């Protein structure tokens, strides 16, 4: 079968995107791994299928590059919204579902996408590590200089730690820059490596910084793939109306035999 696909990226976080409205698409875990492989496939940090949804514009069906399912992907969500507009499913606004629930978003005049994520009601503070679920599992660790972190071995010890089993967790290393801004690096489970950006990790890092540092909305976040902003309303340790804003681009369109 020849499969048409789209390739999108959001601050360096790249995705294979498939239009499930044109034809029913069911892929095995092995097929997803092959499509996401950077040497023998298309290459990406994940795969998204846009599927019909009765109570929304579409359902965002997201998979990690190892073929496993995930609750949500912030950058993948923003890519989904721009793709939905590009193929004529929506105008500039979207209301859609993912495995973690409902989301709304809009494409801004500057081409960036503003996406609402789930509300966050408190954190699990372990001192040197703070856990939060922003649609998927994240741990935030504050460091003096993110560029000096040997990220893979440090992150893997946390990612597989007993307290985060059985699902495991993504790991974010955060450097406070001042003026409500931070710099981060993220290790993503499912990818099992550092990525240039992670949308839910950006939000997790920003909200934990607001919790620990008292930062107000919006918080600027610098990733290795670019800069984003996180907006929120804070009520104690509850964070509502959480939005992620940043650039999204279509990279190319192609076909592949599977």
Active site residues: 73, 198
CB 154 within 8 A of CB 121: no
Virtual torsion, Cα 83, 84, 90, 92, nearest 10 deg: -30
DSSP class of residue 203 equals H
**Closest by Cα among 83, 102, 111 to 20:** 83
Report d(CA 91, CA 168) in Å as an integer. Answer: 37
Pairing of strands 137-142, 170-176: parallel
The residues pairing with 124 across neighbouring beta strands, listed in sequence order, are: 131
Do residues 171 and 187 make contact, with C-beta atoms less than 8 angstroms apart? yes
Helix (H, G, I), strand (E, B) or coil at 110: coil
- For 90, counting Cβ atoms within 10 Å of its Cβ (0-12 exposed, 13-18 middle, 19+ buried), the class is buried
Q: Are 244 and 201 in contact (CB under 8 A)?
A: no
Question: Residue 220 burial by CB count (10 A; 0-12/13-18/19+): exposed, middle or buried?
Answer: middle
Q: How far apart are CA 28 and CA 6, in angstroms?
A: 19
């Amino acid at each position: 079968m020849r499969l048409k696909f789209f390739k999108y990226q959001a601050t360096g976080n790249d995705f294979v995107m498939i239009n499930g409205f044109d034809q029913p698409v069911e892929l095995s875990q092995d097929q997803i791994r092959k499509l996401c492989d950077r040497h023998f496939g298309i290459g990406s940090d994940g795969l998204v299928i846009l599927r019909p949804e009765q109570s929304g514009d579409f359902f965002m069906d997201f998979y990690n590059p190892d073929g496993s399912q995930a609750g949500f992907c912030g950058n993948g969500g923003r890519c989904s919204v721009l793709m939905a507009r590009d193929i004529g499913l929506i105008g500039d606004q979207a209301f859609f579902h993912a495995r973690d629930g409902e989301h709304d978003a809009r494409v801004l005049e500057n081409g960036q996408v503003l996406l609402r994520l789930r509300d966050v009601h408190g954190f699990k503070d372990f001192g040197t590590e703070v856990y939060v679920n922003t649609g998927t599992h994240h741990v935030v660790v504050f460091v003096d200089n993110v560029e000096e972190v040997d990220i893979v071995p440090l992150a893997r010890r946390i990612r597989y730690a007993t307290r985060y089993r059985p699902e495991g967790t993504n790991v974010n290393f955060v450097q406070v820059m001042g003026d409500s801004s931070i710099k981060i690096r993220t290790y993503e489970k499912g990818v099992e490596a550092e990525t240039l950006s992670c949308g839910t990790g950006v939000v997790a890092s920003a909200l934990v910084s607001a919790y620990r540092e008292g930062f107000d909305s919006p918080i600027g976040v610098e990733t290795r793939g670019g800069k984003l902003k996180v907006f929120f309303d804070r009520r104690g340790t509850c964070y509502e109306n959480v939005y992620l804003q940043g650039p999204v681009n279509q990279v190319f369109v192609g076909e592949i035999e599977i």
